[in-house]
Each structure stands twice: as C-alpha cells, then as structure tokens.
Structure 1
Amino acid sequence: MKNLCLVLLLITNFNFAYCQIENTEEHPEFSKNINFKSVQNDFNVEKPSLVQRLIPVALITSGVLLSTSDFEKALQSDVRNSVGNDFYTTVDDYFRYAPIVQMYTADMLGAKAKNHWFDQTKNMALSLAIANITSTLLKKEVYKLRPGGGTNANSFPSGHTTTAFATATVLYEEFKGSNPLLANSGYLFAAATGTLRMLNNAHYLSDVLVGAGIGILSAKLVYQFDNLIKWNPFKKEKGFAFAPQFSEEGFGFYFTRLF
C-alpha cells in the first residue's frame, strides 16, 4: 500500500508540472529566426492553483491511509445501517454520466465553452480512458474485497466514482471561465455517485476518495496539455488549400499550407 501511495503521488506531481519558455529578450540572437512568442502560445500550459494541487492529493492520500482500517469498516457499517440492509438503487449508474449530458446540453443552448464540441469530446474520451485504465489496473493490483462480502475483490478504487469525477472535471474545465455555477454543478453528481456507492454497500470510503482523486487528476492531465493536441477536422485551418488539378499531362492534386 505504501508503494501504491508513492506511485499515485508521483503521478500527481507529473500532472501538475508545467512548461516555461525562457524570455527571448535575454537572448536576442535567437529571436531573429524563431518567433518564441508564437511557440509559447502553442506549448504553454496553465499553471494550476495551490487548491487545484491539494484537492486530488488530499483525496488520494486520505484514501490510501484509510484503506482497510478499522475506522472505515466501522463507518461503512454505520452508513449501511442508516439506510437498512435492503437499500439498493441504480441511480449511481447514471449520475456518473450526468456531467456529459450537462456539457452537451449547454452547448446546444449556446453557452460559451472553452473548446469546440469536438475538442470537448476528444478531451472527455481521453480523460475517461486514462481514469478507467488507471482504476482497472489498481483494482487488479490491490485486490480488495467489497464491503458486501463475497469473492468480488475489486473494491479499490471505485470505478463509478472515478468516472463521475473525471466527467465532472471536464465540465468544470470547459465552463469555469464563462459559467462557474454550471462548471461546478457536475461535482454535485460526482459526490452523489460516491455517496450512493457507499450506501449501496459496494465500496468503502477509501475506495471513493481515491477514485475521486484519480478522476480529477486524469482530466486535469488532459487539460494540462490541451494545447498540444489541436487536431479538429470540424474547424477550418488557416493557410490550408487542397484541390484536384487537371492538365494535358494528366490528373493530380494541388496542396499548399502556410507556416
């Protein structure tokens, strides 16, 4: 478990690394041939705030420390007793995807987002892929039994919660600059998903905390380097031309691109 904590914290530190390009005024001889300002605009990534750094770190660290402890076992017993052993709902199966519905609904209603809908879809897919692959690998590595008993040893971390916080973070990144209320609303569904996983007796608190941290980190990682993945076939590219060409010698294609 200590090794697991170390790996997760290393991923966290890598996720929040950011690039800087040295000021060209100190080396004017280079600025004659290279437009460093243009390069910086293309490859610069946003430095996250201290709060953005601490939240996923705190979630993952707390979850790792609480896992298999007597405290979380007692807490899970109290949580289950508060709703009864017969309690079961499938709402959490849908809540984890609610931020996706929110994002596309906002797009259709004309809400201003950070990216084009294709880039939103691309970032959402990448975030979910990273989050779910990480979650699945950890489930196999940790091999922790679920609180409901049986032989199903894939409790840590919570896959539902991982997905929910990944989708919520994508929604947040897209609308934090234009509509903070909408941007943060996805976390309500994410938190509800994690809570319902515990009420359903499917996960312990530590499973939910680590899942939330992984989900947030996965989406943050994608948006950290969003400027490096600019391909979008639905947006017209400036300085680009492609057309068929006919001549007496035959048929071909004309291609040009301005750099």
Structure 2
Amino acid sequence: MDSLTGSPKIHGQSSLLKKLVVPGLLTGTALVFNNSSFEMELQPKVNRNLSTNIDDYIRFAPLAGMYIADGLGIKAENHWFDQTKNAAFSLLLTQLITTSLKVNIDKERPNGANNEAFPSGHTSLAFASATILYEEFKNTEPLLAYSGYAFALTTAYLRMAKNKHWFSDVILGSAVGMAVTKLVYHFDYLFTWNPFKNSEKLVIAPNFDYTGAGLYLAIRF
C-alpha cells in the first residue's frame, strides 16, 4: 500500500526494468573500463594518497539524513520500521554481493594492498544508502531525496583519491548498491510485517560506523 496515496503499489515487470536501467548502464560502463588503459591512466591523476577516514562515515550519511528527517516529521514513503527493514535488507545484500564479487574476481587494488578491488565496497554501500533516502523522499522532498547521492559520489571519489580503487571499481560499486536497493523496494510488499505501525513517536534506527553496527532510540516530537 502506498503510504502517500492510500492505493496499492504497482509492481509490474516494466516498472522493474525502468528502475534497473541506470544500474544496468553503470554495470556496462564498469565492464568496458575494467582493466582498460583509460583507468590505468586516470588513476595517477585522481590519486592524492589521502589518509582521511571520512569515507568510512559519509557512506552512511544518507541513512542518518533519513532518520533525522523522520525525527523532524518530514513525510516519507514508509513508516520508520519499514524504512529500517528495507535498509537492513539493502545493506546486507549489497555487502554480501560486493564481497562475493571481490573474492571471485580477484582484481588488485591500485595501491597493491590486496586483490579485492572490484567492486568498491564503500561505494556500493554509499549508493545503497543514497538510494534508500531517494526512495523514501522522492515524492515529498525531492531535494532531500537526491542529496544522498552527493555523499555517495564523494565516497567514490575518496576511494580513488586514497588509491584504494580504480575507476571501474567505484562504477560497479555504485551499480550494485543502486540495483539491490531498487529490487528491495520493488518487492517490499512481500514483507509487510510491522509491529510498530501505530507507534508513530518512537523511532528505532540502525547506527553504522567503521567499527560495526548498532541501534539507537529516538522520540519524535
């Protein structure tokens, strides 16, 4: 059920294909440029040998923005529990797929640290987070909805500027994060259980950082 219109959501095949157009184009781009002379020549130009760890945090900034917006009473597409449920599915599946690709593709990082370059895990989670924010506020607060992608793009840039990833790594990472989240939201009607549907003032949100994950409680006024 669409929380904004009160009408059932449409989950057609054509609708799903439209949602996957951008991730599909990004995947194709990543495959074209993977191990190409273009990305080999680009990397030294982008590399700044940065030592900052800010990319460990800003990849989850869109999620923080979503819960802050909830706390301020800004209208979202879903109840906070459904938001958290979709976010958990999206981030978990994104991490699993990204890790599996890293291990099986076995591409060396530009800094030579290991062979887990392709795709970028930080970037995939950043774009998953940004797409969650987009899906929740695209119909009510478009500026807020798109703002998460600024953090995702910054994360992607920092991964290259820190010499951790090649161009194609971050492009494929963005595709994975977006595709997984689009799929989770497309099929969210299959997981409608919500024990907090009538508890509008209580918000339980996940908290992520480079050390792990947890939960925090908030009261919405």
The TM-score with structure 2 as length reference comes to 0.82
**1:38-61, Cα deviation, whole Å (9 max, x unpaired):** xx937x416538764321111111
Q: Does 1:140 find its partner at 2:103? A: yes
The residue identity in structure 1 corresponding to 2:92 is: A
Matches within 5 A, 1:104-183: 104-150=67-113, 152-183=114-145
Structure 1, gaps ≥5 residues long: 1-39, 237-259
The one of 40, 44, 55 aligned to 1:73: 40
Cα displacement (A) at 1:77: 1.3
- Correspondence for 1:45: 11
Aligned length: 191
**1:1-35, Cα deviation, whole Å (9 max, x unpaired):** xxxxxxxxxxxxxxxxxxxxxxxxxxxxxxxxxxx
**1:103-129, Cα deviation, whole Å (9 max, x unpaired):** 000000010001000000000000001
- Correspondence for 1:205: 167
CA RMSD in angstroms, aligned pairs only: 1.7
Bigger radius of gyration among the two: 1
- Correspondence for 2:59: 96
Which SS does the other structure have where 2:107 is aligned? coil
The ranges of structure 1 where at least 4 consecutive aligned residues each deviate by more than 3 angstroms after the TM superposition are 46-53
Distance 1:233 1:50 in 2: 32
Structure 2, gaps ≥5 residues long: 1-6, 199-221
Higher relative contact order (CA 8 A, sep 6+): 2
Distance 2:146 2:16 in 1: 16
- Correspondence for 2:210: none
Distance 2:150 2:156 in 1: 10
